[in-house]
């Protein structure tokens, strides 16, 4: 592989599409961030509330489930268990500045820029993106 091809490989891998389930408790919170994730090349399914997340998980498998900042504290606690029980290999990213949960793969402060959130998604799923 040429030096140029080696430099381009990580960039191409980071742009690979992943399947994301993005959840919020308020529908109006889904719009801008899910649009940015889609613009970045990811396949994004949105869900409002716990019931919608569980229904989406029954229908298909996701690489990543993101629990947005409007998701209740109770759902931030229970949904990671439910995600892992349904699809063990699925990663969970919680957009909240709160404490760590053992079923959560990453926590990110929702007040940071969307570019940083996209970087976190890419770093969290690097092996999936390289497939």
| Predicted pLDDT of residue 106 | 82
| Predicted pLDDT of residue 6 | 37
Domain ranges of the chain: 3-129
Name residues of the chain where pLDDT drops below 70: 1-16, 97-101, 125, 127-131
| Predicted pLDDT of residue 97 | 64
Own/partner pairs, 77-82, CB within 8 angstroms, 24+ separation? 77/101, 78/50, 79/23, 79/50, 79/53, 80/104, 82/53, 82/54, 82/57
Token pair belonging to 42: 């990811």
Rg (alpha carbons) of the chain, rounded to whole number? 15
pTM for this one?
0.79
Partnered with residue 21 across adjacent β-strands are: 45, 65
- The CATH architecture assigned to 3-129 reads 3-Layer(aba) Sandwich (3.40)
How confident is the model over 78-116, as pLDDT tens digits? 899 999 999 888 999 998 866 666 778 888 887 788 888
């Amino acid at each position: 592989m040429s030096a140029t091809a080696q430099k381009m490989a990580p960039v191409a891998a980071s742009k690979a599409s992943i399947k994301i389930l993005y959840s919020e408790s308020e529908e109006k919170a889904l719009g801008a961030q899910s649009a940015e994730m889609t613009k970045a090349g990811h396949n994004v399914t949105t869900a409002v509330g716990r019931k919608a997340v569980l229904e989406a998980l029954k229908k298909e498998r996701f690489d990543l489930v993101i629990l947005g900042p409007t998701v209740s504290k109770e759902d931030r606690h229970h949904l990671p268990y439910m995600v892992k029980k349904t699809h063990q290999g699925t990663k969970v990213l919680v957009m909240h500045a709160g404490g760590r949960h053992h079923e959560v793969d990453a926590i990110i402060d929702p007040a940071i820029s969307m570019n940083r959130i996209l970087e976190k998604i890419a770093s969290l799923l690097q092996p999936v993106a390289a497939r």
